[in-house]
Chains A and B, each alone.
Chain A
């Protein structure tokens, strides 16, 4: 099946059913995936009824099944080292919904942050790491849920390269054999924000605060919707199908205002290498191209993100802006953190906002959340842990 497209950004002459009739053709990779499976070349991690999937539409109107349970959490190395409230909020929701999942140690980084920053890898290395982690979820009978946007983009790309290139498949299969694994590819590459998106109406039922006076601005992650864009969720009811729907969808479902701003399509300035070793570029980009427009044009109360790098970059680089007269500030958090916050999750123990740099307290106060009480309870909890008490975890881990 092929779909013809004209303009992938959807800025001009786009139809609201997001099907375009001229231009180049993009193959739907899923047909080839199933053909390879039928030939016995690969194994596919299928999404079955057991996963209780919910369907969403992608850029060209293709259907994408999002599994909602029996999930294997594939964590983000940046997120878990820096923004722990991001995965914790996700698991908090999953516990609320009785979602079956496994969060475990037996996984590595996708290594794509490093690749995009330093190029010290190659397609064979990236694809082998991807298949290694996919296979781990496969042997547990679970479906991989990808936390990081760069992992999501990389895994979509590696899936396509593996499907399109026999030589790459053969090489990765040879490496998998050496580590006792097989060449498996998931039926869909699924980002956590897509799970949040399809669950947004269930999430909204848990809402504890009125958000009608809260103005959000959404920063979508480039590696979610610019890498293999045909695999990204669009919804004709959100931005008329002209922009990716994830993150905006849950903010709207929760009753918040979602304001537009002129640099919506810009990246965050992370740059992979730049955020670590050329930070003046990241800093300038954050303030000039994202935070200032969000505040000046939209009077934003909170910036909603969907990725590790974006959250870090946009949050951490506001403080230094003051030295150059940038007084605009806006708290930054992932969609799932914002959702957890307004559904009554503890500000410190679950949403873990204490790790964030830009002040989020005014947002809490505007929503009506008593963050001071949460802080007191958290400090008391730390003292209990210091005295040797066991931590209160979201799941048991052997």
Chain B
């Protein structure tokens, strides 16, 4: 993909059309994009709309316009502002689902390895590693003062004597520090097969090749145990 002097991607109209067609081919698309009265109730209730240049009404209107350029115009940081809370879907009188459309567009963005997706997800790689390699997303040892200084001095509590404090939790499955719970290796192996067969590993390879290599090393280790 080519970029102009401002780092904005230069793409042909054919490519924009290809992306829009890919979105419309998703089996969820017609369920999510129905009639839109442009009433704006979705945007009125949208939490990120209060803090970002983001409007679920525009997401729907752009899709309904059938103009690939308008849909392409959302494929940068715009789609990543959404909180995925689905307030829009719940309050829409026509049962549109702008949050669902966002999910479809994001999937395309990561599947194709768009630079905007790579940039947005770069700080997310530690979480992605934990989830994909071990089957858990958040672990007690991730809650460290240097990672979460804005959560206040009490965060230090969790990092001191962590193994002992976890042992004091009266659920044996939780008495670990490096995972939310002690995931059984057989469960991890099944998850790897699912990720392979569903194309999840392939997506990660596209969006973050270095991370993919690290994950594959861990997968190989767990499988060989």
Contact = CB atoms under 8 A, between A and B. Distances in A.
Contact of B203 (A106, A120, A153): A120
A128 interface: yes
B121 interface: yes
Task: Among A181, A273, A397, find the residue whose CB has the most chain B CB atoms closer than 10 A.
Answer: A273
B28 A222 contact: no
A355 B51 contact: no
Contacts of A26: 95
Nearest to A105: B184
Contacts of B223: none
Given A276-B123, A350-B170, A382-B165, A289 B50 contact: yes
A62 interface: no
Contacts of B158: 355
Contact of A125 (B93, B127, B199): B199
Contacts of A174: 197
Contacts of A121: 198, 200, 203
A271 B48 contact: yes
A52 interface: no
A84 interface: yes
A31 B140 CA distance: 42
Contacts of B142: 81
Nearest to B92: A8
Contacts of B72: none
A78 B137 contact: yes
A289 B47 contact: yes
A8 B154 CA distance: 41
Contact of A178 (B152, B168, B193): B193
B193 A179 contact: yes
Contacts of A79: 180
Interface in B24-83: 27-28, 45, 47-48, 50-52, 80, 83
B173 A75 contact: yes
A120 B50 contact: no
B207 A120 contact: yes
Contacts of B138: 77-78, 81-82
A80 B172 CA distance: 12
Interface in A268-288: 269-274, 276-277, 279, 281, 283-285, 288
A284 B158 CA distance: 24
A271 B83 contact: yes
Contacts of B165: 382
Contacts of A355: 157-158
Nearest to B34: A24
Task: Please classify the interface of chain B as helix (H, G, I), strand (E, B), loop, or mixed, using the class held by over half of its residues.
Answer: helix
B168 A223 contact: no
Interface string A89-120: 00100000000000111111101011111111
B89 to A, nearest CB: 7
A378 B151 CA distance: 24
Interface string B79-100: 0100111110111011100000
A76 interface: yes
B186 interface: yes
A386 B165 CA distance: 10
B180 to A, nearest CB: 4
Interface in B109-151: 109-110, 117, 120-121, 123-124, 127-128, 131-132, 135-140, 142-143, 148, 150-151
A182 to B, nearest CB: 13
Contact of B128 (A104, A118, A179): A118
A182 B94 CA distance: 36
A21 interface: no
B199 A272 contact: no
A140 interface: no
Contacts of A108: 135-136, 183, 187-188, 190-191
Interface string A1-35: 00000111100000000000001101000000000
A368 interface: no
Contacts of B186: 106
A383 B173 CA distance: 21
A273 B120 contact: yes
A284 to B, nearest CB: 6
A60 to B, nearest CB: 14
A192 to B, nearest CB: 14
Interface string A151-182: 00100000001000101100000110011010
Contacts of B170: 88, 91, 349-350, 391-394
28 contacts: A76-B180, A80-B174, A81-B140, A88-B174, A91-B171, A105-B173, A107-B184, A107-B187, A109-B136, A109-B137, A117-B124, A117-B127, A118-B121, A118-B124, A120-B132, A120-B203, A125-B195, A129-B194, A175-B193, A178-B193, A222-B87, A273-B80, A273-B124, A281-B51, A316-B148, A350-B170, A355-B157, A355-B158
Interface of A: 6-9, 23-24, 26, 75-82, 84, 87-88, 91, 103-109, 111, 113-125, 128-129, 132, 136, 153, 161, 165, 167-168, 174-175, 178-179, 181, 222-223, 225-227, 229, 265-267, 269-274, 276-277, 279, 281, 283-285, 288-289, 316-317, 319-320, 349-350, 352, 354-355, 357, 378, 381-382, 385-386, 391-395, 397
Given A285-B47, A288-B50, 6 more contacts: A80-B180, A84-B174, A120-B110, A120-B132, A121-B203, A122-B198
Interface of B: 27-28, 45, 47-48, 50-52, 80, 83-87, 89-91, 93-95, 103, 106-107, 109-110, 117, 120-121, 123-124, 127-128, 131-132, 135-140, 142-143, 148, 150-155, 157-158, 161, 164-175, 179-184, 186-188, 190-191, 193-195, 197-200, 203-204, 207
